[in-house]
């Protein structure tokens, strides 16, 4: 099982103590519950931020992503539900592209920044302490 709810941004954008460094100059703020949209929009005043949410079990699941810049939504919300046909690019990878991530030789942007490092939001929270 894989679950993730987080905000991802460039280092220095999020005003939070519990961020986890990713690759390509990004940080991840794990969220135990969904934040208010106004909070995410506020964070984006310092740079683009992506709110991502994923849940998979046995390769089947859903994911959502939305990107804010300067207090407004500029991408999404993008949603991939369990029964939707597999897209060429997933919502989270599209959001990461908007943040400037390059997949390089990785399968996709999700892999390129290391989002498979932990299998749950709670594990990301623990690594942020």
Q: What is the pLDDT of residues 1-60, one digit of tens each?
A: 899 999 999 999 997 778 999 999 999 999 988 888 899 999 999 999 999 999 988 878
> Would the pTM count as exceeding 0.75?
yes
Mean pLDDT over each residue of the chain, to the nearest integer: 92
Note the pLDDT of residue 10: 96
Q: How far apart are CA 43 and CA 2, in angstroms?
A: 26
Select from 123, 93, 126, 115 the least CA-distant residue to 28: 115
Return the DSSP state at 101.
-
**pLDDT value at residue 18:** 86
Q: What is the pLDDT of residue 47?
A: 96
| Closest alpha carbon to 10 in 43, 54, 36, 52 | 43
Confidence of residue 61 (pLDDT cuts 50, 70, 90): confident
Q: How confident is the model at residue 68 (pLDDT cuts 50, 70, 90)?
A: very high
Q: Is the pLDDT of residue 129 over 70?
A: no
**pLDDT greater than 90 at residue 96:** yes
Is the pLDDT score of 86 beyond 90?
Answer: no
pLDDT for residue 67: 98
């Amino acid at each position: 099982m894989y679950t993730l709810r987080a905000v991802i941004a460039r280092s220095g954008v999020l005003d939070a103590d519990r961020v986890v460094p990713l690759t390509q100059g990004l940080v991840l703020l794990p969220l135990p519950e969904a934040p208010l949209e106004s909070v995410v929009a506020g964070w984006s005043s310092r740079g683009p931020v992506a709110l991502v949410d994923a849940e998979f079990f046995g390769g089947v699941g859903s994911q959502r992503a939305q990107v804010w810049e300067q207090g407004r939504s500029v991408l999404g919300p993008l949603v991939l539900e369990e029964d939707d046909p597999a897209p060429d690019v997933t919502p989270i990878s599209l959001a990461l592209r908007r943040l400037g991530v390059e997949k390089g030789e990785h399968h996709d942007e999700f892999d390129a920044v290391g989002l498979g490092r932990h299998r749950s939001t709670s594990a990301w929270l623990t690594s942020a302490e």
